[in-house]
Amino acid sequence: MAVTVNELVRIKTPVFSHITSEDLEHIYEPSEDTFLLIDALEKDLELIHKVHPTLCLEVGSGSGVVITALGSILGGACQYVSTDINLRACQITEETGKINGVTIKTVCTDLVEGVTEEVKGKVDVLLFNPPYVVTPSEEVGRGDLEYTWAGGERGREVMDRFLPSVQSLLSSKGLFYLLVLKENDPADLEDIMKQQGFICSCVISRKTGPEHLSVLRFSRI
């Protein structure tokens, strides 16, 4: 019987014990959504390996746990870049990578403003765990922690700002993984991305407390 890559290999959760309680007053603590995104990457490992990634980008890396987890399995043949609007998150992301043997270049910027030209058309794996919680619009982007979860109307305000960038960022074989809440209207997101030439697959879904979370994969093929 054939054995697939993801049956042979598991992604280990990175060590993040260096993150202090004081850090967590400013950055997003690795939580159920973090680990769901890692689980989705693990489930998709066979497909990811087929892409032969040379550049991975995480937008809004926070603690850096997700991109570090991916880097720990893909190894040094791939370049890892992350962004975050919070300088402290960038510093912690770099440290998380270093402790776990993954070199991550971090850029403190809003979404991808500071890296678009550098990575345009080169990203083979794109990761985004956005602020997805439905909140009043005025809470979006307010303070370090609010940046990490407040999504405004339908939880979509930050997400919708980012989606038009995906087409120019991804390589022709690139994969985009987006974590969403049921209230974000995944079907509408699929329609929006279809207009950009992407097909959508739901890699994994899970109900955690009151939240129904899913990880969507977008690709051109």
For the chain, what are the domain ranges? 16-219
User: In terms of CATH, what superfamily is 16-219?
Assistant: Vaccinia Virus protein VP39 (3.40.50.150)
Structure tokens given for 103 = 């070199």
The model's pTM: 0.94
Tell me what the pLDDT averaged over the chain comes to: 93
pLDDT digits (tens, 9 = 90+) for 132-177: 999 999 889 877 777 788 899 999 999 999 999 999 999 999 999 9
Is a pLDDT exceeding 60 seen at residue 184?
Answer: yes
CA dist., res. 154 & res. 94, Å (int): 32
Residue 215, token pair as written in the block: 């990880």
Tell me if 129 sits within 8 A of 34, measured CB to CB. Answer: yes
Quick: pLDDT tens for 29-69. 999 999 999 999 999 999 999 999 999 999 999 999 999 99
Cα(191)–Cα(203) distance, rounded to whole angstroms? 17
The proportion of the chain whose per-residue pLDDT surpasses 90, expressed as a percent, equals 88
Q: Would you say residue 2 has pLDDT above 50?
A: no
Residue 1, pLDDT score: 41
Handedness of CA 57, 62, 65, 68 (dihedral sign): positive
d(CA 42, CA 22): 30
Nearby residues of 115 by Cβ (< 8 Å), 6 or more positions away: 57, 81, 83, 107, 109
β-sheet bridge partners, residue 171: none
Confidence category of residue 6, pLDDT binned at 50, 70, 90: very low
By three-state DSSP, how is residue 48 classified?
helix
Nearest alpha-carbon partner for 181 in 216, 142, 147: 216
Mean pLDDT, residues 198-220: 96
Round to whole Å and give the CA distance between 93 and 43: 23
Q: How far apart are CA 129 and CA 33, in angstroms?
A: 8
